[in-house]
Structure 1
Amino acid sequence: MNRKDSKRKSHQECPGKTGGRGRPRQARRHKTCPSPREISKVMASMALDMLKEGGCSEDELLEKCIQSFDSAGSLRRGDHILNMVLAMHSWVLPSDHLAARLLTLYPPRAMSSGGGQRAEMYQEATGNTQELRRLQICHLVRYWLNQHPETVHQEPQLEEVIGRFWATVEQEGNSAQRSLGDSSNLLSPGGPGPPPSISSPGLGKKCKVSLLFDHLEAGELAQHLTYLEFRSFQAIKPQDLRDYVLQGSVRGCSALEGSVGLSNSVSRWVQVMVLSRPGPTQRAQVLDKFIHVAQSLHQLQNFNTLMAVTGGLCHSAISRLKDSHAHLSPDSTKALLELTELLAAHNNYACYRRAWAGCMGFRLPVLGVHLKDLVSLHEAQPDRLPDGRLHLPKLNSLYLRLQELAALQKQHPPCSANEDLLHLLTLSLDLFYTEDEIYELSYTREPRCPKSLPPSPFKAPLVVEWAPGVMPKPDRATLGLHVEQLVESVFKNYDPEGRGTISLEDFERLSGNFPFACHGLHPPPRQESGSFSREELTGYLLRASAICSKLGLAFLHTFHEVTFRKPTFCDSCSGFLWGVTKQGYRCRDCGLCCHKHCRDRVKEECRKPGPKGDMSPSGAPVPPTPTPHASCGSADSLSYTYALEPETECHLHHAWTQTEPPHPSWEPDTVPLPTMASPPIHSSKPNA
């Protein structure tokens, strides 16, 4: 027998020996301990075993809830069944029907009658039993209103039945029962409230705080996105989750629709911010920054926004940009692949579920995955058994999953947010872009290459929109509120002296934060001051937001001021374009003509010409040209583009659009006459 065998034998002969080497056995035992979720599930199952196995009738379940209270209103045993019934009954029974049953179970006051001492004793015992039952029912209704106050406010029929119940108690009950119906005793439990936000750093009124996307650190941007996500997640109510599972759609659930719309908006915002950069190197810088943002979101355990950002980076309109991805570092490419693998949908999101199970502390789930679990559980099991009794195991399983989400809503985020940066992000996410417009931008940046290319190292895109088509509704009031908040933050940080204007340089850098910056929506400043006032910035943001969110990018025309040689009518209002020169504006791409004041009202889509027309990309800046421009191939409708002075050409580095006011230098007294030869009468093109 060698030395190892002797040691093994000695350990086997002395199983009770304790010492330093006996600790690993306890460690292995610790690893096999059930998790808190498993413990709570077993405790809930034990509580359900008190009822009939598998299910029970509605009357039996309601009686169990009534008997949970004593005369003082304290719970006699655990509150799991009581809370489950109050939270989940609306899945199988309307709340007003449940309240009506409680009203019928409220016993009327016993009438006294003669009949001897024994009869009086019996009536007294019966009266005491009825009074106790009335008191228990009142405690149950009061507990219901305290724990679920939002249910009463959202269902008018339930509020009416509850009102009739307390009116009956006021007439039939004693003072103890009537006191329970007093509104002062109905206290709503206080929720955690929205996460805290901080204002701009108090470094003095003469210090600027940058609101530029390029100046924000990846971790700081991830914290603000987490703040927005958690605020949206907190607004979701159990009724919203129930309606989604029963209806199969987020339509009609405003809080849930807003959360889904936020995720889809973040995903498309990432795509458009990448495509807004003209060069592949610049696009690679934005890609690298968003990859670091995704890594910070992973560290913050914000998986929902991580899914949105990673889905936007892996979208086919972005992954096809080979030149841009070629400038990424190997570390960034590897990090993107790891995040893609983490959130991949294969095996029912196995990698994500494994990572989620190991998370501790603050965390935000991928809401679509957990809603999918609720739908699967609801569809897999019936609400009632064949004999008509309620299927309690199904209600209990749904209740446990809803409780997990409710516990996550009571968290406190580990980060705070800057109010001004939140305004900037909120307005940026309000913009709406369709799938076709994003692909149009992608092909404009990097057209299709006919030669064969090596296969892309990126995998198929993730589930970017788990509820396709759900986008935020940028109504006029919401856009106005967001623009007002952003303008206030801009002037607070970029105009510390209180002059009421911001410089052209600050405006150009600030406007680059918005995705519509790549479409030339930059109005030229006033020639006198070269700055923007509060009203001008507000009007610009309102017009740009309204156009991009409601009309879409296909409606953006590239207008320039022209002179018509024949009578021409406005395509918007059908009015005549009066004047000797510069009667109106014409779109460079489609040739649409309109008045100066009709540019903001054009409702006709800008239709680009065919291969024989202008081949400039849609939405790309069109530089001014001093040469005449023929439109529609007709000498009668010939339009001229005026040459500008050299000192005014610096203001035309962006394409003119219907959102731009005319530049003061375009007035007749400051613009020189066009230098061109008159075209022949029978020619369709002017001579150079």
Structure 2
Amino acid sequence: QPAQACGTAPESALELKQIGHCPSISHLTQVTMVPLGHLAKGATLEDLLETCIQSFDLEGNAYQNNHLLKIILAMHQFIISSADMLQKVIDLYLNALESKSSMLCVKICYFVRYWITEFWVMFKMDSKLSTTMEEFQELVKANGEELHCRLIDTTQINSRDWSRKLTQRVKTNTSKKRKVSLLFDHLEPEELSDHLTYLEFKSFRRISFSDYQNYIVNSCVKENPTMERSIALCNGISQWVQLMVLSRPTPQLRAEVFIKFIHVAQKLHQLQNFNTLMAVIGGLCHSSISRLKETSSCVPHDVIK
């Protein structure tokens, strides 16, 4: 179906929020305007695929910017599964073979190579997409196109060191115990909030669009390791806050830690790091701390307010 233009969006451009590399949460996004040209009034999926394929030259270089390519590859799963979209690409490849259009064939392979390179996690995590990809590879091999075979090769995906780190699952019970410290007593609230925000940023930037979509569709984080790690970080910070307060032997010392975390929370709010902010507040509001009446009596009224 033709895409319906949103009344509040510009007709000739598409807005895309991109993640930057600044560790301050308040500066993580910037808006990029992507010209849509003849697609501005609406387009079918076939039109979008054709635009993506034709955006490559015969040497594999994308014309102008590649924002539209990334948007379509990132967002298509709301409309069609990745395996079904790849099947449409395969059909286009077969049609190009029948019409003996070698130029179109190589452009299709460049498009698939771009998909593999930029969104390799899809091919690693989606079994149906991987199966369809294998069928495409067999088809290309049967037609004896060596260049095309090299372009759509997926054997390097599993050899990426950083892919293993990204998909490594959180192990709740580990045989090795590690000592980790944020140097609580030696850091001022502003420094501590900066460190916590950097940890949050490192976790946040690993979460892909597909991870969010899988969470929405399945309503759980099962088989979604990046989301699991993000949640584990949040829960870990909350438990750490509780431990820092409860580890002090006297009500006065516990109150000092409580006050310090209130100041950390204020700094996190200024940094717009709301996820860690809620983790800290959740720790301070836990029943194990809220029932400490003597500690509460040592906290100034303005801090409690």
TM-score, shorter chain, exceeding 0.5: yes
| Separation in 2, partners of 1:231, 1:306 | 16
Q: Which amino acid aligns with 1:51?
A: L
Contact 1:233–1:259 under 8 Å retained in 2: yes
Q: Which amino acid aligns with 1:149?
A: W
Q: Which amino acid aligns with 1:78?
A: N
Q: 1:211 to 1:313 in 2, by over 3 A?
A: closer
* Higher RCO (CA 8 Å, separation ≥ 6 residues): 2
Matches within 5 A, 1:224-263: 225-263=196-234
Q: Deviations over 1:206-232 (max 9, x none)?
A: xxxx97977443456545544543443
Q: 1:67 to 1:185 in 2, by over 3 A?
A: farther
Matches within 5 A, 1:475-624: none
| Separation in 2, partners of 1:192, 1:160 | 20
Q: Deviations over 1:464-501 (max 9, x none)?
A: xxxxxxxxxxxxxxxxxxxxxxxxxxxxxxxxxxxxxx
Runs of at least 5 residues in structure 1 that lack an aligned partner in the other structure: 1-34, 112-125, 195-209, 335-456, 459-688
Contact 1:134–1:173 under 8 Å retained in 2: no
Contact 2:96–2:105 under 8 Å retained in 1: no
Runs of at least 5 residues in structure 2 that lack an aligned partner in the other structure: 1-14, 18-28, 166-179
Which of these two proteins has the greater Rg computed from alpha carbons?
Answer: 1
Normalization by structure 2: what TM-score?
0.69
Between the two proteins, the alignment pairs up a number of residues equal to 266
| Separation in 1, partners of 2:68, 2:185 | 53
Q: Deviations over 1:152-198 (max 9, x none)?
A: 1111221222122122223325454344245699899997999xxxx
Structure 2 partner of 1:141: 112
Q: Deviations over 1:127-176 (max 9, x none)?
A: 4xx11111111111111111111111111221222122122223325454
Matches within 5 A, 1:259-270: 259-270=230-241
Structure 2 partner of 1:62: 49
Q: Deviations over 1:9-67 (max 9, x none)?
A: xxxxxxxxxxxxxxxxxxxxxxxxxx9969945x23x41x52162x4322222222222
Q: CA RMSD in A?
A: 4.1
| Separation in 2, partners of 1:98, 1:214 | 51
* SS of match in other structure, 2:200: helix
Structure 2 partner of 1:549: none
* SS of match in other structure, 1:243: helix
Structure 1 partner of 2:93: 106
| Separation in 2, partners of 1:80, 1:213 | 42
| Separation in 2, partners of 1:186, 1:257 | 22
Structure 1 partner of 2:125: 154
* SS of match in other structure, 2:72: helix
Structure 2 partner of 1:76: 63
What is the CA-CA distance between 1:288 and the residue it aligns to? 2.5
Residue 271 (structure 1) aligned with residue 245 (structure 2): no
Matches within 5 A, 1:386-405: none
Matches within 5 A, 1:14-413: 40=31, 43-44=33-34, 46-47=35-36, 50-51=38-39, 53=41, 55-107=42-94, 127=100, 130-172=101-143, 174-181=145-152, 215-219=185-189, 221-222=192-193, 225-277=196-248, 279-295=250-266, 297=268, 302-315=273-286, 318=289, 321=292, 323-329=294-300, 333-334=302-303
Q: 1:253 to 1:101 in 2, by over 3 A?
A: same
Q: Which amino acid aligns with 1:325?
A: S
Q: 1:251 to 1:188 in 2, by over 3 A?
A: closer
| Separation in 2, partners of 1:39, 1:215 | 36
